[in-house]
């Protein structure tokens, strides 16, 4: 099945469901990836500077926890622009550690820009980029047998529901051998007002990020969405730590998608669920790790305890 066929299948399934939904993995085409770079620069969006701080100031501590005896690879899933990761890679290059950086991203533009930036800032870095859905890359990685540190940063794990987290971690384990590591970014629970502002900014950048899902369906699947007839709504529940984001149909309307050869009816104020972003406690993180066969080596937190990069091994 081609990527377009998979996209069409998932869109049909999501828009035919009683609660319409579009998977957040479809945010990140080239345009969506560009908008997300703008989101990460927003003053309200704390995860990026918090994780940058962790990798900049605690990179040496993270490296000291790695017990590799020879060459290894650092595999980053959903690498984006790589600016945060570069803080960690720089420390390894300065130590003349023998490793290869393997960034994986679905956006070819993001990978091209990342590779150019890495070569410019870290000319001694060995880099082997991969373009595509990182789930499809896992079998290839598992077959390599190279000792590995896997990176899943940015709080991306918060986009998965509990059963999906278990499935994701099972996939990561298949790529790993005893002695390998997984460094995962988790957004931590905090003042609800801080979270709310990060996911519904006053300039409407987050809204544009969500509306781009509809533009992408129009571009790639022949959709007929009139994007000015949809609004954006985000809600944070501090009890369970979940941000849920939606697109809202402003009028009764019918949308045709050529690649599915179907029409989809929308009532006025009907919702399309687009994203889950869960905020964790440290105890929740440790339970998730243990339930999936990982041992927590250490949690590395920023100075505000807003975010943690949690290092696990098997």
Q: List, for residues 182-236, the tens digit of each pLDDT value.
A: 999 999 999 999 999 999 999 999 999 999 999 999 999 999 999 999 999 999 9
Q: With contact defined as beta carbons under 8 Å apart, do 156 and 123 qualify?
A: no
pTM of the model: 0.90
Q: With contact defined as beta carbons under 8 Å apart, do 8 and 260 qualify?
A: yes
Does pLDDT of 142 surpass 80?
no
pLDDT at 134: 74
Give percent of the chain with pLDDT exceeding 90: 88
Does pLDDT of 141 surpass 90?
no
> Which tokens in the block code for residue 144?
């390599």
CB under 8 Å to 6, separation ≥6 — which residues? none
Distance of CA 279 to CAs 107, 166, 199, 310, Å? 26, 16, 12, 14
Does pLDDT of 49 surpass 90?
yes
CB under 8 Å to 167, separation ≥6 — which residues? none
* pLDDT tens-digit map of 293-306: 999 999 999 999 99
Reported confidence tier of residue 273, pLDDT bands at 50, 70, 90: very high
Mean pLDDT of 250-276: 99
From CA 7, how far away is CA 9, in angstroms rounded? Answer: 5
* Residue of 276 and 135 predicted with greater confidence: 276
Q: With contact defined as beta carbons under 8 Å apart, do 270 and 249 qualify?
A: yes
Mean pLDDT of 255-282: 98
Nearest Cα to Cα of residue 260 among 220, 214, 229: 220
Mean pLDDT of 7-25: 97
Look at residue 96 and give its three-state secondary structure: coil
Reported confidence tier of residue 107, pLDDT bands at 50, 70, 90: confident
Distance of CA 289 to CAs 104, 298, 310, Å? 23, 12, 10
As assigned by CATH, the class of the 47-190+280-313 domain is alpha beta
Q: State the chain's mean pLDDT as an integer.
A: 95
* pLDDT tens-digit map of 62-78: 999 999 999 999 999 98
User: How far, rounded to the nearest angstrom, does the alpha carbon of residue 204 sit from its chain's CA centroid?
Assistant: 20
Q: b/e string for 247-282 if b means 16 or more Cβ within 10 A? A: bebeeebebebebbeeebebeeebbbbbbbbbbbeb
From CA 199, how far away is CA 37, in angstroms rounded? Answer: 14
Does pLDDT of 143 surpass 80?
no
- Cα dihedral 281/283/288/293 (nearest 10): 150
Reported confidence tier of residue 133, pLDDT bands at 50, 70, 90: confident
Q: With contact defined as beta carbons under 8 Å apart, do 49 and 41 qualify?
A: no
Nearest Cα to Cα of residue 188 among 180, 198, 203, 179: 198
Reported confidence tier of residue 132, pLDDT bands at 50, 70, 90: confident
Q: Which of 42-46, 126-130, 144-148, 228-232 shows the lowest per-residue confidence on average (mean pLDDT)? A: 144-148
Reported confidence tier of residue 110, pLDDT bands at 50, 70, 90: confident
Does pLDDT of 3 surpass 90?
no
Mean pLDDT of 83-89: 95
Q: Go through the chain and tell me how many residues it has.
A: 314
Reported confidence tier of residue 26, pLDDT bands at 50, 70, 90: very high
From CA 145, how far away is CA 311, in angstroms rounded? Answer: 20
Q: How many CB atoms lie within 10 A of CB 49?
A: 18
- Cα dihedral 27/32/38/42 (nearest 10): -20
Domain boundaries along the sequence of the chain: 3-43+193-278, 47-190+280-313
> Which tokens in the block code for residue 101?
């950086």
Q: With contact defined as beta carbons under 8 Å apart, do 150 and 180 qualify?
A: yes
pLDDT at 126: 97
């Amino acid at each position: 099945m081609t990527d377009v066929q998979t996209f069409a299948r998932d869109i049909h399934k999501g828009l035919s469901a009683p609660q319409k939904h579009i998977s957040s993995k479809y945010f990140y085409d080239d345009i969506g990836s560009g908008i997300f770079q703008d989101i990460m620069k927003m003053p309200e969006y704390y995860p990026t500077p918090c994780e940058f701080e962790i990798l900049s100031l605690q990179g040496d501590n993270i490296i000291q926890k790695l017990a590799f005896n020879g060459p290894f690879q650092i595999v980053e899933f959903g690498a984006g622009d790589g600016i945060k990761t570069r803080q960690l890679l720089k420390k390894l290059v300065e130590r003349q550690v023998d490793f290869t950086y393997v960034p994986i991203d679905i956006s070819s533009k993001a990978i091209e820009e990342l590779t150019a930036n890495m070569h410019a800032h870290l000319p001694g870095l060995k880099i082997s980029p991969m373009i595509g859905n990182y789930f499809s890359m896992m079998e290839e990685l598992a077959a390599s047998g190279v000792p590995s540190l896997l990176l899943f940063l940015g709080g991306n794990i918060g986009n998965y529901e509990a059963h999906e987290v278990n499935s994701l971690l099972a996939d990561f384990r298949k790529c790993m051998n005893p002695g390998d590591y997984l460094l995962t970014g988790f957004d931590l629970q905090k003042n609800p007002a801080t979270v709310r502002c990060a996911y519904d900014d006053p300039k409407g950048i987050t809204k544009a990020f969500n509306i781009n899902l509809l533009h992408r369906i129009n571009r790639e699947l022949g959709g007929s969405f009139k994007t000015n007839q949809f609004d954006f709504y985000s809600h944070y529940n501090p009890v369970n730590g979940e941000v849920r984001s939606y697109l809202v149909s402003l009028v009764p309307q019918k949308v045709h998608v050529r690649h599915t050869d179907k029409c989809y009816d929308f009532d006025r104020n009907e919702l399309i669920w687009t994203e889950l972003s869960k905020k964790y406690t440290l105890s929740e993180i440790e339970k998730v790790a243990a339930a999936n066969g990982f041992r927590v080596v250490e949690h590395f937190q920023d100075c505000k305890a807003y975010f943690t990069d949690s290092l696990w091994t098997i």
